[in-house]
Structure 1
Amino acid sequence: MTLRIVVVGAGYSGLAAAKLAAKWTDARVTLVNESGRFVERVRLHQLAAGQPLRDLPLADLLDGTGVELVVDRATEIDVVVRIVHTRDARALPYDLLIYALGSRADLDSVPGVAEHAHTVATLDQAARLRDRLAPGQTVAVVGGGLTGVEAAAELAETRPELKVRLVTRGVLGAGLSPRGRRYLRRAFDRLGVEVREDARVAKVRADGAVLAGGEHINADTVVWTAGFEVPGLARAAGFAVDDRGRMVVDRTLRSVSHPEVYGVGDAAAVHRADGQELRMACATGLPVAQQAVRGIADRLAGREPRPLRFRYVNQCISLGRRDGLVQFVRSDDSPRSAVLTGRPAALYKEAIVRSTILLERHPTLPSGI
Structure 2
Amino acid sequence: MKTLILGAGYAGLAAVTTLKPTPGLETLLIEQNAYHTFETRLHEAAAHNTRVTLPLAPLLRGTGVAWEQAKVDYVDLDEREVGLKDGRVLTYDKLVVGLGSVTNFYRIPGLAENATELKELAHADEIFNFVNRTFDNGYQGNRDIVVGGAGLTGVELVTELAQRAELLSKERGLPPFNIFLVEAGPKILPILDDALRAKAQKTLEDYGIKILVGHRLMQATPDSVTVQTADGEQKVIQAGKIIWTGGIQARDIVRGKNLEKGPGGRIVVDEYLKAKGYDDVFILGDMALALNQEGKPVPTTAQHAGQQGRTMGKNIMSLASGSPLMPYEPTTLGEFVSLGGLMAVGWMKLPWNQKLAITGGIAHVMKRASEWKWRSSIE
Both proteins in one fold, TM over 0.5: yes
Give the distance between the partners of 1:343 and 1:273, measured in 2 at CA.
Answer: 33
Taking structure 1 as reference, are residues 221 and 109 closer, same or farther at Cα in structure 2, changes over 3 Å only?
same
Which of the residues 218, 221, 237 maps onto 1:217?
Answer: 237
Give the match for residue 168 of structure 1.
183
1:33-52 deviation digits (Å, cap 9, x = unpaired): 11111111111111111323
Residue deviations 1:322-357, cap 9 Å, x none? 2111134699x9x95x42111111121112122222
8 Å Cα contact 1:77/1:237 also seen in 2: no
Change (3 A) 1:54 1:77: closer
Which amino acid in 2 is paired with 1:180?
L
Q: Cα offset for 1:22?
A: 4.3
User: Structure 1 residues 164 and 62 mapped into 2: Cα distance closer, same or farther (>3 Å)?
Assistant: same
Partner of 1:366: none
Match of 1:50 among 48, 51, 76: 48
- Count residues in correspondence: 357
1:182 counterpart letter in structure 2? A
Measure, in 1, the Cα distance between the counterparts of 2:52 and 2:190. Answer: 32
Given the superposition, is the C-alpha separation of residues 20 and 189 from structure 1 closer, same or farther in structure 2, using an over 3 Å criterion? same
Check whether the contact 1:100–1:263 (CA below 8 A) recurs between aligned residues: yes
For residues 298-335 of structure 1, give each alpha carbon's deviation from its aligned partner in whole angstroms, at most 9, with x where no partner exists. 3444443343222223111111122111134699x9x9
Query: Deviation string for 1:210-244 (max 9, x for gaps)?
Result: 11332112322111000011211124686332242
> In the TM superposition, what whole-angstrom CA distance separates every residue of 1:72-111 from its partner, at most 9, and x where no partner exists?
1111223344221201122222100000001122235311
User: Matches of 1:38 and 1:173 in 2, distance apart?
Assistant: 27
**1:247 corresponds to 2:267:** yes
Q: Distance in 2 between matches of 1:93 and 1:271?
A: 29
Q: 317, 322, 332: which is aligned to 2:337?
A: 317
Contact 2:49 2:128 in 1 (8 A): no
Task: Give the secondary structure class of the aligned counterpart of 1:159.
Answer: helix
Separation (CA, whole Å) in 2 of partners of 1:285 and 1:318? 20
2:346 aligned residue = 326
* 2: CA distance, partners of 1:25 / 1:182: 54
Matched-pair contact (CA < 8 Å) for 2:76–2:255: no
- The residue aligned with 1:7 is 5
* C-alpha distance in structure 2 between counterparts of 1:62 and 1:304, whole Å: 25
What is the rounded CA distance, in whole Å, between the counterparts of 2:225 and 2:52 in structure 1?
A: 33
| Larger CA deviation: 283-292 vs 351-360 | 351-360
CA distance in 1, matches of 2:216, 2:144: 19
Q: Which residue of 2 aligns with 1:127?
A: 125
Match for 1:38: what amino acid? Answer: H
What SS does the corresponding residue of 1:124 show, helix, strand or coil?
Answer: helix
* Distance in 1 between residues matched to 2:37 and 2:84, nearest whole Å: 21
2:96 aligns to what?
Answer: 98
Match of 2:164 in 1: 158
Deviations, residues 150-177 of structure 1 (Å, cap 9, x unaligned): 0111111122223212111121233322
Corresponding residue of 1:307: 327
2:257 is the alignment partner of 1:257: no
Q: Is the contact made by 1:9 and 1:101 (CA closer than 8 Å) also made in structure 2?
A: yes
Alpha carbons of structure 1 residues 305 and 222: separation in structure 2 relative to 1, 3 Å: same
Deviates more, 1:16-25 or 1:135-144: 16-25
How far apart are residue 23 of structure 1 and its match? Answer: 4.5
2:171 corresponds in structure 1 to none
How many percent of aligned residue pairs carry the same amino acid?
A: 26
User: In the alignment, what sits opposite 1:354?
Assistant: 372
Structure 2 residue matching 1:200: 3-state secondary structure: strand
Verify the 8 A CA contact 1:234 1:247 in the aligned structure 2. Answer: no
Amino acid in structure 2 at the alignment position of 1:310: P
Which whole-Å CA distance do the structure 2 matches of 1:117 and 1:216 have between them?
15
- Following the alignment from structure 1 to structure 2, what is the Cα–Cα distance between the partners of residues 63 and 352? 23
Residue of structure 1 aligned with 2:202, choices 186, 190, 204? 186
Which residue number corresponds to residue 63 of structure 2?
65
- Per the alignment, in what secondary structure is the counterpart of residue 181 of structure 2? strand
- Match of residue 364 from structure 1: none
Note if contact 2:12-2:309 (Cα within 8 Å) is conserved in structure 1: yes
Identify if the C-alpha distance between structure 1 residues 93 and 269 changes in structure 2 by more than 3 Å, giving closer, same or farther: same
- TM norm structure 2: 0.87
Give the Cα–Cα distance (whole angstroms) in 2 for the partners of residues 158 and 327 of structure 1: 26
Once residues 224 and 24 of structure 2 are traced to their aligned partners in structure 1, the CA distance between those partners, rounded to angstroms, is: 54
Structure 1 distance, partners of 2:257, 2:25, is 24
Matched residue, 1:290: 310
Q: Where do 5+ consecutive residues of structure 1 fail to align?
A: 362-369
From the superposition, tell whether residues 237 and 66 of structure 1 become closer, same or farther in structure 2 (CA, over 3 Å). farther
Give the match for residue 201 of structure 1: 217
Alignment RMSD: 2.3
Q: How does 1:111-150 map to 2 (within 5 A)?
A: 111-133=109-131, 134-135=134-135, 137-150=143-156
8 Å CA contact 1:314–1:327 kept in 2: the answer is yes
Q: Secondary structure at the match of 1:278?
A: coil
In 2: Cα distance, 1:43 partner to 1:236 partner: 34
